[in-house]
Structure 1
Amino acid sequence: MNIKLFICFCSVIYLAGCQSTSPSAPLTPPDILNNVSFEHQPVESVEEIFSLSPEIINQFHQSIHHTPDAKIITRELLTFIFESSTNKLNYVSGSTLTANQTFSQQNANCLSLSILAHALAEELGLDSRFQRVYIPEYWALDQGFNMLTGHVNLKINRQAFESQDGVTRFYNYADSLTVDFDPNSREQGFPTQFIDKSVIAAMFYNNKGAQALVNQQYDRAFSYFKAGIDIAPHYSGSWGNVGILFKLNNQYSAAEQAYQFAIKLDEDNNTAKGNLAILLSLTGREEQAKVIQDELELKRQSNPYYHIAKGNEAYIHNEYQMAMRHYRKALTLDKKSHESYFGLARSYYQLGDTKLAERYLKQAHKSARFSFDIERYQSKLSHLSAAINY
């Protein structure tokens, strides 16, 4: 039996399809979190997520000219983030870190980068706001789990300021600066929505909880998901994720209540709907499950990333022709998708056609934007070339 579990996970991150504002009318959450079957484990405090060490703060202030021109200050802030260390800040999709950890380790996903940039902007007194970017649903396969990724960034208002005779004077610019790993999200003009700090903290906890869940560290996962709910009770993604945890631990009633509440909070939370359909089917309610599944299938047909996810699913089950049909469908919707080219490359390789495998791997390398993917494809090309010429 093939069971797919979709987790809200910002890597890119998480968190597509999940509402980030409170519903118009208060909703009473289900009483399912006082669960004695999970042992509470300590998690990072909100202060730990956003704080900077005295050493980083001191280094930061030494690199900033403290001019009243916020255009210059914001540019210097970006330079400090990306170029102040001997190593450049690298994009790592699963790297959900605190502000301190991000700067020290020089690894980050979109969420970690936004947290670090916010902490630095706050240190300078600059006005900054987190934004959720409404990208299409996008999945990444991790140890048998389809992780639904989302995207966030940080918008810093270019607001200059100076103090004279105890009076602070502000100079406002019409434009602003956006700190973002992915220029594609801005180029395509995806809609954005401001989200508050508590929701960002909830996303942090959910990312950490999702990784713990994948690693079967269920007590740790529950502790993170509960922390996310405690800090932002009306963030739909947290309830959907804790529902998966309950389902994996055969607590079907609690799982169903969690999914239903996630959907009440956000009727567009397709992830929770999909997981609810799986649970309904598992508990003998196939007709109800099919209604939800048909609705989601129709919604997702125009999304290239859905077909990539379906292709990846077919690939891991050795259904290479089926996988290639999905990858080709994805390419008709997005010709720049490096994941589709890579899917075709590895499928052809499994079928013994190294010539086409190399061709599509070169296309994947050409289409990739992040250095991580470019280097990964280059390495695979080198190994494939060596195998062909052996």
Structure 2
Amino acid sequence: MSIRIGIASLSGSLVLLAGCATIDLETDYVFDPALYAQVIDQTSDNYPEIDPLSLDDEIKQWLHENMEVDGRGEEYLVSTLQDLLYGEDFLNIQYSDAKTHTAVEIFHAREGNCLSVMNLYVAMARYVGLDANFQTVEVQPSWDRRGDLLVVSQHINATGRLSAREYYVVDFTPEIALQSMTESIVSDAVARSLYFNNLGVEALVAGETAQAMGYIKNALFIDPANSFAWNNLGTAYRRLDNEELAEFSYHFSFNLDKTNATAINNLVKLFRAQGDEERARQYASVIDRFNQRNPYFQYAQGRRAYEQGNYGAARLYFRRAVRLKPFEPSFHTGLAMVYVQLGELNLARDAREEAENVLAANSEIYRPSDRRLRIFDRNSILSSSSPGLTIQLRRGTPVEPAPN
């Protein structure tokens, strides 16, 4: 994945994002315009020379040499771009989460994360005349340890119209575990903000705190509503021992997004470091209650228990995840795995069938697959209230992400 939505210090409990579930927390936060002005202290984009979507003459010439740009239909253009980016005889781009690239950089590097590849795809698609936009998609959260930080990522892909009825979705890592029906088209400005947020997180991981501050502040100048960047800025301020602005940034992050459990978890650790145990306990208890109704937290706990061989606990967690969100096929698959280990083969078969039922009922909805390019007919998409989504059940998540 490739959008670095959240970071936190390694110590402390982990929390997972839970889609649209909000966190019920009354804070004593009061917006301070003076502190805001200290953070957003620039009047223009500080990196105008960096254009993640720019194509140089070499790339444009390469496109003309390897595809018919003029006079061809949209489906030809979309599928040909796939071959050019991923085909072994062409760029053959490979996944790497080490660095976020511009379109020109990843063309030459031949490796990068999802945001990097989508920079190149969107730029190329628009150059050949396709409608192309960035689209974020929530993923089942997982943590990546980077030194003393934990980093969680959000996924990003590209989409565009082919006709009044049809649209396409282009992925780089389609095998990741997505949350169903969570895709959202975002503007180029938002994508640019996410790009600088990524650079900031990468600089933080490398121990380059001053550089990280510059990148993250630029992300917030471009998109002040970027809750992820506010959280990450708070972590940068903690690195600089500026607890006042760290607390302000974490609170501002949560105020923008009431589902942002990472910001609250970071506040818990800040309060504990300050010796404010009362507020730390108050905020931690809210996170605990949030996790109890967070299906992805329950699923993550189930995976951990399964990997440790504690199949009884894993069964309990997976059952809770299914009860909280029955239309997530991986939850049923996890339950099936546990039943196999427990020798309950009939229940394992039932769980696998339920996973297949969910997949069949949502066959047109965006989900992981072995295809990087998918074309959809809008009229065939089921709404969340469609009877086709009903299945019969026999029985009754760490820090903040960045896009991939």
User: Would the TM-score normalized by the shorter structure come out above 0.5?
Assistant: yes
Partner of 1:15: 5
Higher helix share: 1
Tell me the SS of whatever aligns to 1:138.
coil
- Root-mean-square deviation (Å): 3.8
Check conservation: 1:136, 1:305, Cα contact below 8 A: no
Could you tell me which amino acid in structure 2 is paired with residue 58 of structure 1? Q
- CA contact under 8 A between 2:100 and 2:116: conserved in structure 1? yes
2:222 match: 231
Q: Which residue of 1 aligns with 2:100?
A: 96
Amino acid at match of 1:114: M
Distance across 2 between alignment mates of 1:265 and 1:202: 16
How far apart are 1:43 and its partner, in Å?
Answer: 7.5
Q: What is the DSSP-based 3-state SS (H/G/I as helix, E as strand, rest coil) of the residue aligned with 1:67?
A: coil
Bigger drift between 129-138 and 198-207 goes to 129-138
1:294-322: CA deviation from partner (whole Å, max 9, x where unpaired): 3223333555567759999xxxxxxx999
Q: Is the 8 A contact 1:311 1:326 kept in 2?
A: no
What corresponds to 2:169 in structure 1?
178
Q: Is the 8 A contact 2:220 2:226 kept in 1?
A: yes
SS in 2 for 1:96: coil
Compute the displacement of 1:47 (Å): 4.7
Partner of 1:142: 146
Q: Return the match for 1:210 from 179, 198, 201.
A: 201
Q: Indicate the residue corresponding to 2:71 in structure 1.
A: 67
Aligned to 1:120: 124
- Residue 86 of structure 1 deviates from its aligned partner by 5.1
Matched-pair contact (CA < 8 Å) for 1:308–1:326: no
Identity fraction in percent: 22
Q: Secondary structure at the match of 1:49?
A: coil
Paired AA for residue 314 in structure 2: K
Structure 2 CA distance, aligned partners of 1:326 and 1:111?
37
SS of corresponding position for 1:80: helix
Preserved contact between residue 139 and residue 309 of structure 1 (Cα < 8 Å) = no
> Is the 1:130–1:153 contact (alpha carbons within 8 Å) kept by the matching residues of 2?
yes
For residues 302 and 204 of structure 2, the distance between their equivalents in structure 1, rounded to whole angstroms, comes to 22
Per-residue CA distance 1:183-231 (angstroms, 9 max, x = gap) = 3469863311111111111111111111111221111111111111111
CA distance 1:257–1:43, shift in 2 (3 Å): same
Gapped regions of structure 2 (runs ≥ 5): 7-16, 20-30, 322-329, 339-367, 371-404
Match of 1:261, as an amino acid? F
Structure 2 CA distance for aligned equivalents of residues 263 and 278 of structure 1: 15
Deviation at 1:32, TM superposition (A): 2.7
Select 1:79's aligned residue among 72, 78, 83: 83
CA–CA separation in structure 2 for the residues paired with 1:222 and 1:327: 45
Which position in structure 1 is the counterpart of 2:347?
Answer: none
CA distance in 2, matches of 1:310, 1:142: 24
Q: What is the aligned partner in structure 1 of residue 55 from structure 2?
A: 52
User: How far is 1:143 from its partner?
Assistant: 1.5
Question: Once structures 1 and 2 are overlaid, which stretch shifts more, 87-96 or 112-121?
Answer: 87-96
Question: In structure 2, what residue type is equivalent to 1:298?
Answer: R
- Could you tell me which residue of structure 1 aligns to residue 381 of structure 2? none
Which letter maps to 1:52? L
1:27 is displaced (CA, Å) by: 10
Question: After the TM superposition, which of the residue ranges 141-150 and 297-306 deviates more from structure 2?
Answer: 297-306
Alpha-carbon distance between aligned partners in 2 of 1:308 and 1:243, rounded to the nearest angstrom: 26
* 1:135 partner SS: coil
Instruction: Give the drift of 1:61.
Output: 2.1
Per-residue CA deviations over 1:12-41 (Å, capped at 9, x if unaligned) read: 33337699xxxxxx9967123278xxxxxx
Give the secondary-structure state (helix, strand or coil) at the position aligned to 2:4.
Answer: coil
Q: What is the letter of the counterpart of residue 329 of structure 1? A: A
Name the CA distance, whole Å, in 2 between partners of 1:143 and 1:369: 32
Asked if 1 retains the 8 angstrom alpha-carbon contact of 2:267 and 2:280, the reply is yes
Aligned mate of 1:193, from 184, 201, 215: 184
Of 71-80 and 282-291, more deviation after overlay is shown by: 282-291
User: How far apart are 1:58 and its partner, in Å?
Assistant: 0.9
Secondary structure, counterpart of 2:207 in structure 1: coil
Unaligned runs of 5+ in 1: 1-10, 20-25, 36-41, 159-171, 313-319, 342-367, 371-390
Q: Describe the SS at the equivalent of 1:127.
A: coil
1:139, 1:306 within 8 Å by CA — same for their partners in 2?
no
User: CA contact under 8 A between 1:137 and 1:306: conserved in structure 2?
Assistant: no
The one-letter code of the counterpart of 1:15 is I
The aligned residue for residue 33 of structure 1 is: 39
TM-superposition CA deviations, 1:351-379 (whole Å, max 9, x none)? xxxxxxxxxxxxxxxxx999xxxxxxxxx
Q: TM-score when scaled to structure 2?
A: 0.64
